[in-house]
């Protein structure tokens, strides 16, 4: 299933097709261009649906504890570009969606999707008459700063995940724990396979 795309795909549907009736959800403003466009529209799908399904299957197999999780990302070389990372393991397009919303009494909420302890997010956004938000990072520490108009809708931005295998590992460990499986290793550690 395509989560989102920049173009409008033409998908032939014929009687008996295995995906008939499922549909494709996408937006005209792909989140991979959020920083360039000044925002994006997020689809409603859960970016962790595949990982949660895997954790549920592991739980269903009777496994109740694991020492560690290793994500093997050696299928091909990971390539880091200025704005994105191409890698063998991709969760949410190797992006962290960051949602900024003005609230009551000048409060501003900053949330991330997928929600994870892998990153630490510092909120330095205040309400103002205009919206101007920037994201900076040092390793896994992300700072969201600037202003958001008091009457503004939610602003959706992104941060590029520079460690896709460690990110995927953290998300799987967090999902395993959420499904009742004890994991000895910390989710915020590095990927032992790299």
The four Cα atoms 44, 48, 53, 55 give a dihedral, to 10 degrees, of: -150
pLDDT at 38 (0 to 100): 54
What would the pLDDT profile of 40-81 be if each residue is shown by its tens digit? 566 677 889 899 999 999 999 999 999 999 998 888 898 888
Residue 128 in any domain: the answer is: yes
The four Cα atoms 148, 32, 42, 57 give a dihedral, to 10 degrees, of: -130
Q: Which residues of 5-29 are buried (b: 16+ CB within 10 A; e: fewer)?
A: eeeeeeeeeeeeeeeeeeeeebeeb
Residue 13 in any domain: the answer is: no
Residue 39 in any domain: the answer is: no
Residues spanned by the domain of 145: 46-183
Residue 185: name the closest of 75, 71, 58 by CA: 71
Interval 71-97 mean pLDDT: 87
Residue 41 in any domain: the answer is: no
Please indicate whether residue 26 or residue 155 has the higher confidence score (pLDDT): 155
What would the pLDDT profile of 116-165 be if each residue is shown by its tens digit? 999 999 999 999 999 999 999 999 999 999 999 998 898 888 899 999 99
Q: How confident is the model at residue 30 (pLDDT cuts 50, 70, 90)?
A: low
Mean confidence (pLDDT) of the chain: 81
pLDDT at 185 (0 to 100): 94
Residue 135: name the closest of 112, 114, 118 by CA: 112
Interval 162-177 mean pLDDT: 96
Please indicate whether residue 126 or residue 9 has the higher confidence score (pLDDT): 126
Query: How many domains in the chain?
Result: 1
Residue 14 in any domain: the answer is: no
pLDDT at 84 (0 to 100): 78
Residue 138 in any domain: the answer is: yes
Residue 6 in any domain: the answer is: no
φ, ψ of residue 187 in degrees (nearest 5) = -70, -25
Share of the chain above pLDDT 90, in %: 53
pLDDT at 139 (0 to 100): 93
Residue 88 in any domain: the answer is: yes
Q: How confident is the model at residue 20 (pLDDT cuts 50, 70, 90)?
A: very low
């Amino acid at each position: 299933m395509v989560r989102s795309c920049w173009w409008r795909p033409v998908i032939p549907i014929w009687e008996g097709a295995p995906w008939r009736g499922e549909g494709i959800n996408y937006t005209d403003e792909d989140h991979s261009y959020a920083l360039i466009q000044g925002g994006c529209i997020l689809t409603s799908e859960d970016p962790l649906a595949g990982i949660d399904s895997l954790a549920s299957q592991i739980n269903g197999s009777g496994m109740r504890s694991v020492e560690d999780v290793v994500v093997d990302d050696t299928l091909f070389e990971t390539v880091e570009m200025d704005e994105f990372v191409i890698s063998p393991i991709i969760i949410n397009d190797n992006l962290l969606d960051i949602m900024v919303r003005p609230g009551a009494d000048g409060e501003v909420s900053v949330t991330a999707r997928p929600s994870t302890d892998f990153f630490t997010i510092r909120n330095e956004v205040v309400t103002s008459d205009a919206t101007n938000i920037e994201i900076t990072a040092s390793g896994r520490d992300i700072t969201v700063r600037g202003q958001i108009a008091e009457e503004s809708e939610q602003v959706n931005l992104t941060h590029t995940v520079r460690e896709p295998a460690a990110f995927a590992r953290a998300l799987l460990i967090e999902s395993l724990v959420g499904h009742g499986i004890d994991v000895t290793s910390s989710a915020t550690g590095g990927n032992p396979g790299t």
